[in-house]
Amino acid sequence: MHVNQGIYPNNPQVWHLPLFLVGIGGSEYQGHINRPEGYYWNQLLYSVKGQGCLKTESSSTIISEGCYFFLPNNLPHEYYPITDNWEVRWVVFDGFACSQIMQELNLTQLIIFTPDDNTALEKLYNKMFVAQKTDKVFGDYTCSGLIYDYLLSFYQQVVFKNSTRGTSKSDLLMPILNYIDDHFAEDFSMTVLADLADISPQHLCRIFKETMHMRPMEYLTYRRLGEAKNLLRHSDASIANIGCKCGFPDPAYFSTIFKRYEGTTPAEYRKKPKAIG
């Protein structure tokens, strides 16, 4: 899709949303941008064609064709073309939950990244641009959801681009996650999980924490508690029986862990209305 303009929505009705689009656009001939104090909003830019130079206080990087660069808000920066024609597209966003989402996705510092395949990102960008061009009533609301998808897709590509022995983190962890989902009620060790990926338990713990933001056994606990909550809501089985089915054969330990993570005991949770998670 050809993009050579900037669109800056100004709809106060979406300013209360977790994320909303501040601006979207592109330029076939990107000019010189210098922001010594940084920019008020977060930006995700894509180099479509040609090359440019991106400078921050700590680095100077050549941005080539196919490269994305994320600039967090308030980061002093400067970028300019180094070829006759540097085509750049950009998305600018904000929202009351923006800071929290950026923290969760580890998008809090400069990221320069070239994906193997940007098809998904390009499709989401095009959807946002078209929504802004064609839907003056609901376009801003549509883009609120799409910008989240866009950031999540970017995050996933960055995380899983990193590889171990030529295998992406996604490929590495999927058999482990599947094993936990299928065997959560059983008692198994970190060694069993690590053997599935042919790596050491220490290496698995590091990769798992980098990707999932928790240790493998913590993920197992959440998986067990999720199933326990479902059974407490939708079955008449005893609490002891439910704990046993979910990998907690000791009822006292089940109650202790449940309260630690959920803030209430299994018995108290069962009395809550079913609409409450």
pLDDT in tens, 40-95: 999 999 999 999 999 999 889 999 999 999 999 999 999 999 998 999 999 999 99
User: Do 238 and 276 have their domain in common?
Assistant: yes
| CATH code where residue 38 lies | 2.60.120.280
Give the residue-averaged pLDDT of 130-146.
92
Residue 262 covered by a domain: yes
User: Do 270 and 151 have their domain in common?
Assistant: no
**How large a percentage of the chain has pLDDT more than 70?**
94
**How large a percentage of the chain has pLDDT more than 90?**
73
Q: What are phi and psi of 16, to 5 degrees?
A: -90, -5
Residue 46 covered by a domain: yes
The pTM is what?
0.64
In a 3-state reduction of DSSP, which class is residue 146?
A: helix
| CATH code where residue 234 lies | 1.10.10.60
Query: Rounded distance, CA 217 to CA 215, Å?
Result: 6
What total of structural domains would you count in the chain? Answer: 2
**Domain span at 109:** 6-161
Give the residue-averaged pLDDT of 134-150.
93
Domain final residue, candidates 161, 176, 208: 161
Give the residue-averaged pLDDT of 248-271.
94
Q: Say what the pLDDT of residue 166 is.
A: 43
Query: Rounded distance, CA 201 to CA 151, Å?
Result: 31
User: Do 144 and 202 have their domain in common?
Assistant: no
Confidence band (pLDDT; 50, 70, 90) for 163?
A: very low
Please state, as a whole number, how many other Cβ atoms lie within 10 Å of the Cβ of residue 220.
21
User: Do 22 and 157 have their domain in common?
Assistant: yes
Residue 48 covered by a domain: yes
Residue 129 covered by a domain: yes
Confidence band (pLDDT; 50, 70, 90) for 276?
A: very low
User: Do 150 and 171 have their domain in common?
Assistant: no
Residue 1 covered by a domain: no
For all residues of the chain together, what is the average pLDDT?
A: 90
Confidence band (pLDDT; 50, 70, 90) for 217?
A: very high
**Two tokens, residue 166:** 């030529």
Residue 195 covered by a domain: yes
